[in-house]
Structure 1
Amino acid sequence: MPDQEEPHPATVLDDVVHQRVRLGILTVLSETHECRFATLRDELGLTDGNLNRHLRILEQAELLQVIKGYEGRRPCTWLRLTRRGRSALRAEVAALEQLVGRIRAATDRTDPGS
């Protein structure tokens, strides 16, 4: 039986994670234990509504946790990456690294002078 090739790295990209804003959300959250909604919104230059829409998708996929509470008397929302979210982000980055490697190798083969 011939060896079966691994799937092309592009086929393993996760549509939930790979979307630009959601990838940004997961990346920012991976850099900290938890993050305030307003901080994340400002860091990524999003509107409240746009950020909320992406957070719902990530929360439904169990990639992040939304924690509601108060800072003093003011309502506040904190966001935290779940274990599943960290794993999904690592898998996405690994697939992207494989894609970059393939692109570099193809470029080296087709344009050896660069």
Structure 2
Amino acid sequence: MSAKPNEGRFAYEGLDRTIHERARLSVLTSLITNPKGLTFNDLKELCALTDGNLSRHLRVLESSNLVEIVKGVDKNRSLTVCRITANGRKRYLEYLETLEQVVRDAAQVAEKEQQKEMGNGLAPSRA
């Protein structure tokens, strides 16, 4: 039995579940735009997360080798700095490529539907 040509066309296997979660996507986006890293508190503020929530998501990202967490001391105060890893950067960019494909596919289908409606003398529907 052969597979249909369009079978799984919209499966988007590149949507990495670890990255796709909203808070983790926010963390990675913040870190990729700040390659030297961000302090825990800066990251917490940028992503609008609580201490506990950010800690939990950082553990997931760290265990997947997407971020590194460096704990140190600055002026007698503990300091936690988070950075995206080379693997994290690679996987994040691959994830974005998949998201871009989702957008292209959706736009293409919407365009075809609009052309079909116009060909049938129907006004384009507005959502």
TM-score, scaled to structure 1: 0.90
CA shift, 1:12, in A, is 2.1
Q: Give the secondary structure class of the aligned counterpart of 2:12.
A: helix
Could you tell me which runs of 5 or more consecutive residues in structure 2 were left unpaired when the two chains were aligned: 119-123
Q: Identity, % of aligned pairs?
A: 32
C-alpha separation between the residues in 2 aligned to 1:84 and 1:100?
25
C-alpha contact 1:63 1:81 (8 A) present in aligned 2: yes
Q: Which structure has greater helix proportion?
A: 1
Could you tell me which runs of 5 or more consecutive residues in structure 1 were left unpaired when the two chains were aligned: none
Q: Give the secondary structure class of the aligned counterpart of 2:49.
A: coil
C-alpha separation between the residues in 1 aligned to 2:108 and 2:91?
26
CA shift, 1:75, in A, is 0.2
Correspondence 1:1-114 to 2 at 5 A? 8=10, 10-32=12-34, 33-112=36-115
Q: Give the secondary structure class of the aligned counterpart of 1:65.
A: strand
C-alpha separation between the residues in 1 aligned to 2:9 and 2:66?
24
Large movers: runs of 4+ above 6 Å: none
Query: Which AA in structure 1 matches 2:22?
Result: R
Q: Which has the higher contact order (CA 8 A, sep 6+)?
A: 1
